[in-house]
Structure 1
Amino acid sequence: MLTNSRGIALILALAISAMVVAFLSLLNAVDTTILLVAGAISFSVAYLLTNITFEFLVFKEIGNIYSLLEKIQKKDFSEISDKYSKSSISPLRRINKVINSYALTKQKEIETLQKNEAFRREFIADISHELKTPIFATQGYILTLLDGAIDDKQVRMKFLKRAAKSLDSLDVLVQDLLTLNQMESGVIKFTFTQFDLKDLILEVIDQLEHKASKRDVEIKFNYEEGKNYITTADRQKIYRVCQNLIFNAVKYNNNKGEVKVTLKTSKNSIQVDIKDDGQGIPPEDLKRIFERFYRVEKSRSKKEGGTGLGLAIVKHILEGHKSKISVSSTVGKGSIFSFSLPYVKTNSASDKEKSSTD
């Protein structure tokens, strides 16, 4: 009986009403009827107030605390919510709020761990698959040679070249993994210098011109003649960003397609847009294309080659420059990759104008 609010309220109400009746009985002018009425009223009021106080301010909050503790013990955070955002005068409710906040924090930690575990499993599966392909190919060529094909000079040279090519692919994959890991851990430092972004992109296009011509893909570079596009960044790493994005635009474009590289300046930034007219990227894949080893079309990507780490490296390089890579795409029409770098204004153009007017 004493374990609930009604039992405690009943005892306290009886005690209070007895005290009131005892006090009134000391007065000579008070008769029995008044004592009974006073006792009944004091009992009723004391019972109601005490019961409500214990029920809503004590037992209910203690029950909530026990419920939370049981869920934490069972590691069941599914129904826990932040419903105690407002301050309260009840110390028990404040304790409940603290425990609830602790449970919410643990819930978020568990969700993060579950996501990391899923990512780890997916990453291990992906990297195992990526490593298996060149290793098995090289193993097959070498075993074939050991089984007697080495005596045929023509077959020997062909198989050795194929094995070397597979090992080169394996080396590129390992180097990309090391680069990505070093970037994420902060080992690789950025060396910022001033350079003309237009000249850098011209170098990249010149390097990729031969690969583009094999597929009859035309690379067009749109910029303002006579204008300097000076930026402050790590030139080597931005070269790799532009190289990767333009190469992808060529690789995943249609035969006889077109790649447009555009430079635009605003007040404080230079924007680079790389547009292709290839097959495009489905909306459900857009959010994941910068993940390690993620490929929109796995079979087609395998034929085209690549490690599946290029866009992940691009993302980390630009994040190191306080910039972001953005992409918009329409299936069947192509994609546009964009990023921005700081714009360093020079006086060269204005100086030329002054000299011409003089």
Structure 2
Amino acid sequence: MKYSNLNKIALNLSLLIVLFFGLVYFVASHLVKIEIGFLPFILSEILLFFFSYFLYKYTINKFIYEKIKLIYKTIHNLKAPKTQQNKIENSSDIISNVNQQVLSWAQDKKEEIDQLKKLERYRKEFLGNVSHELKTPIFNIQGYVLTLLDGGLDDITINREYLLRTEKSINRMIAIVEDLEAISLIESGELIMKFHKFDIIGLVQEVFEFLEIKASKKQIRLSIVNNSEKPIYVFAEKERIRQVLINLIDNSIKYGREKGKTKVSFFDMDENMLIEVTDDGFGISQEDLPRLFERFYRADKSRSREQGGSGLGLAIVKHLIEAHNQTINVRSTIGIGSTFAFTLKKIK
């Protein structure tokens, strides 16, 4: 019951009492000939009105509160600290407090239910994705092994090729499991991060050297754009940032054009350093961009699976950057290329 309705009930009952008293006065003055002055009568009516109004209000308030006391205490004790429980319970406006608490509790429960539904949908989607990603290499391994067992092992024209394909499928499964473990560690807060000062330019050069052979196969040129031509020092977990750079640059090579280019640029943002990894590849559609950092999401599913990978690389990148309390975003244009940009804390 709303507090305004409670006031109306008390007001109506008080008016009835005043009218009843007025009627008694009228009957008494005509039948019994009791003479009461007009002014004393008006004053007594006013006093009676206020007295009955507050009496009814208090009585109804307490009566309703006693009826819903158990519900109120259950809801309120779940929400408020002990230091506030007695304060609100002894409030003169108990019904309004109850109403407010119930509405607040209902809203909280609705949000909890919505969150649980969202998590349940995410769980089902996640399990479906894991199953799908693991199923492909498992079936490939099964096919290669059965072929070898059926006589292919003695056929020198296919045995080595099938064993190499089996190894590739096994490596893909290992990559999926390792990436799942990495995300689990990050989300649970169990990933140990050791921040220290290092030169981000030097780290990019190391990653370029690591991916040089892969880039040369597609004749992709790797370059660094540093206008200051000086070392740039950041405060971060070096090996995790190495992992971020490997993921981003490796993707730019995988999905880049033949004889294309990938560049890493640096922009001074006062307290932070903005690092951009840009390619001139095929680009990503606008409808795919918002979901690009989701687990197992692939903008071009057929090309992505041909290239291999766990489908978790960008999700890990996002988690690692956010673990540094920094941000990452992407912009892309079909036919022109893509740019992944993230920030790191700068240090002198």
TM over 0.5: yes
Q: Give aligned-pair identity as a percent.
A: 38
Which amino acid letter does the alignment assign opposite residue 169 of structure 1?
A: R
TM-score by length of 2: 0.77
Of the two structures, which has the highest relative contact order with CA contacts closer than 8 Å and spacing of 6 or more?
2
Query: 2:219 & 2:29 partners in 1: Cα distance?
Result: 109
220-229 vs 17-26, greater mean Cα deviation: 17-26
Task: Quote the residue 1:332 is aligned against.
Answer: 335
Specify whether residues 15 and 29 from structure 1 end up closer, same or farther in structure 2 by C-alpha distance, changes over 3 A only: closer
The verdict on how the C-alpha distance between 1:249 and 1:23 changes in structure 2, with shifts beyond 3 A counting, is: farther
Secondary structure, aligned partner of 1:259: strand
What's the offset of the Cα at 1:13?
5.7
Alpha-carbon shift at residue 23 of structure 1 (Å): 6.5
State the distance in 2 between where 1:20 and 1:120 align: 75
Structure 1 partner of 2:20? 15
Change (3 A) 1:333 1:24: farther
1:299 aligned residue (289, 296, 302): 302
Distance 2:156 2:195 in 1: 52
1:256 Cα deviation after fit: 2.4
SS at match of 2:265: strand
Letter in 2 for 1:240: Q
Deviation at 1:281, TM superposition (A): 2.2
Mapped pair 1:177 → 2:180: yes
Q: Distance in 2 between matches of 1:30 and 1:220?
A: 105
Aligned to 1:194: 197
- Alignment-derived partner of residue 147 in structure 2: 144
Q: What are the residue-to-residue correspondences of 1:1-358 with 2, within 5 Å? A: 12=17, 15-21=20-26, 24=29, 90-224=93-227, 226-345=229-348
Number of aligned positions between the proteins: 311
1:152 shift after superposition: 1.6
Q: Indicate how the Cα distance of structure 1 residues 289 and 20 shifts in structure 2: closer, same or farther if over 3 A, else same.
A: farther
Deviations 1:34-58 (A, max 9, x none): 9xxx99xx8xx98xx98xx99xx98
Query: 1:330, CA displacement in angstroms?
Result: 2.3
- Structure 1 pair 93/145, CA: closer, same or farther in 2 (3 Å)? same
The one-letter amino acid paired with 1:136 is: F
| 154 and 93 in structure 1: CA distance in 2 versus 1, 3 angstrom threshold | same
- CA shift for structure 1 position 9: 7.5
Q: Which structure 1 segments of 5+ residues have no match?
A: 73-87, 346-358
| Distance (whole Å) between structure 1 residues aligned to residue 130 and residue 258 of structure 2 | 31
Whole-Å Cα distance in 1 between the matches of residues 161 and 212 of structure 2?
28
- Residues 89, 19 of structure 1: alpha-carbon distance in 2 compared, 3 angstrom cutoff: farther
> What is the Cα deviation at residue 114 of structure 1?
0.6
Once residues 92 and 284 of structure 2 are traced to their aligned partners in structure 1, the CA distance between those partners, rounded to angstroms, is 56
SS at match of 1:338: strand
TM-score (norm 1): 0.75
Q: Which residue of 2 aligns with 1:78?
A: none
Residue 12 of structure 1: CA displacement? 4.0
Give the root-mean-square deviation of aligned CA atoms: 3.7
- Provide closer, same or farther for how the CA distance between residues 328 and 23 of structure 1 changes in structure 2, counting only shifts above 3 A: farther
Shift of 1:331: 2.8
